[in-house]
Amino acid sequence: MHCSVSDVRPTGLRKALITATLCTGPVMQVLDSTVVAVALNHMQGSLSAAQDQMAWVLTSYLIAVAVATPFWGAMTEKFSRKALFNFCIALFTMTSLLCGQADSLTELVIFRVVQGVFGAALIPLSQAALMDIYESKDYGIAMAWWGVGLMFGPVLGPTVGGYVTEWYTWRWGFFINVPLGLVSFLAVWAFVPRTTARKRRNFNYMGYVVLAIGLGCLQFVLDRGQRYEWLDSHLIASLLCLAGASFWLFIVNSTTSENPFFDPIILRNTNFVIGLFLRAVFGILLFGPLILIPPYLQKIGGYSIVDAGLLLAPRGLATMVSALLVGKLVRHVDPRAIIIIGAGMAGYSSWEISLLPGNAPAVLIINYILIQGVGTACFFIPLNALAFANIGADQRDQGTAFFALTGNIGRSIGIAILSSYLVYGTQVNKSRLVEHATPMNDLLSHLPHPDLWALDTLIGLARLNSMIVYQAEILAYSMDFQLLAALMFACIPLVMMMRVGGKDKSPQSK
């Protein structure tokens, strides 16, 4: 987008207030996703819906966010970014109130779609606006504060959602957005500089429509594919084909149209292109452990839900504290080195967790979780600074929109792969272990209390099956953590291909 605003960047207290204000966008959007996920079971009883139906509360929102994210990047060419940001905050807050008042699943899903459409703008617009008030050499500290807001949801969302739902009702999972939205709206109105769009291009409807269809189909496949058994389902196969055709048409439109929806010139920036891939990986790094560690601690370690949440909390706290330190460090150290260290720490911790026995002490688990938290911050903060260091103001809104979109898609792909690989690993390892559970295996007779594992009694068979499933799940989780570790280590060569240096494309865009 091309916008105009004062060439003088704010300083001092005003700069701090603007920064804090813009960080509320990521907090609201990500917090809403994680809080609602925790409250689904309570919603199910209140709305008299089946568990499979309740999944649409999340699926509808994720599809809407995926489809709408690139749209808002284009809208900044026609409207003031400040006006758009406040408009989306207001509508997001209003639909949150409506979601909390919904009396049926149909109403809730409809309001969630609208909520997702306006919530999609909060992350990319806030990131682009924040870059306008900082010079490129200070992007590290800017992205550190913004990253704290982005990571606040995954860190505290499950805890907030659990307590709010337990003490009040699931409806407060939506109502908590109302005071946050009101404060954010007033703060944006009071502190964020007024901006006006200056470059107006005709909106490429064809480009956006085919992109939206592709994203909608892909998000549905990733979110519901496992439920429908992936390509064994004609629906999933058909949607994948439709998504592929839509993306192909979008590429054709982008490369042949005189006025494309997505200007491919931004892809000439090596750092940005590599950054897109690494941003997708970060989506997996941030959310992957959230779907693996809690059930791992409960099923394998025997921890309660509360204790599992407490053991995971240090990861988030380490991430947020480290983000602020890394933000200052980026100005003095090669950001590529910090990203590589972050990838190495995240990979190392995942690998070590994969080797833990089922009865691993809590202190050891917390150590690796802390390392992973620090690695997450080291990976993400300099990545944002490096990816956008040489992106001009006229391309910033488009860049942040597709950066956020890539992160969302990466998260969905990662969750789908890790979840499916976990199911596959459990089945494969169970089959292999069952092959050894025969009367011919003398090891069974050397187990403690061999009568308890007798294959000629129903009780013995039940106990043996329970132990086999337990061991199969340990091995399956180990495979998932090793896959996550391998992904992080594979990023290191890509990071080394990024470049450091370049001039600030300066003045404000808006």
Averaged confidence pLDDT in the chain = 84
Each residue of 324-342: pLDDT tens digit?
A: 899 888 888 899 999 999 9
- CATH number at 267-510: 1.20.1250.20
Question: For residues 430 and 481, is the Cβ–Cβ distance under 8 A?
Answer: no
Which of 289-298, 392-401, 423-432, 498-507 has the largest mean confidence? Answer: 423-432
Does residue 168 surpass a pLDDT of 60? yes
- State the pLDDT at residue 447: 61
Between 444 and 61, the more confident residue is 61
Measured CA to CA, the distance from residue 367 to residue 249 in angstroms comes to 48
Residue 505 binned pLDDT confidence (cut-offs 50, 70, 90): very low
Give me the percent of the chain exceeding a pLDDT of 90: 30
Q: Residue 48 contacts by C-beta under 8 Å, 6 or more apart in sequence?
A: none
For residue 196, give the DSSP letter: E
Q: Residue 443 contacts by C-beta under 8 Å, 6 or more apart in sequence?
A: 436
Question: For residues 214 and 66, is the Cβ–Cβ distance under 8 A?
Answer: no
- For 302, half-sphere exposure in the C-beta direction (CA atoms, 13 angstrom radius) is 6
Kindly state the average pLDDT of the residues 156-180.
Answer: 79
- CATH number at 1-202: 1.20.1250.20
- State the pLDDT at residue 451: 62
Phi-psi region of 229 (alpha: psi -120 to 50; beta: other; left: phi over 0): left
Per domain, the residue ranges of the chain are 1-202, 204-260, 267-510
Each residue of 7-50: pLDDT tens digit?
A: 557 777 888 888 888 888 888 888 877 777 777 777 877 787 77
Which of 234-248, 416-430, 490-504 has the largest mean confidence? Answer: 234-248
Kindly state the average pLDDT of the residues 285-306.
Answer: 82
- Same fold? 1-202, 267-510: yes
- State the pLDDT at residue 509: 39
Give me the percent of the chain exceeding a pLDDT of 70: 88
Does residue 455 surpass a pLDDT of 70? no
Each residue of 120-149: pLDDT tens digit?
A: 999 888 888 888 888 877 888 888 888 887
Residue 456 binned pLDDT confidence (cut-offs 50, 70, 90): low
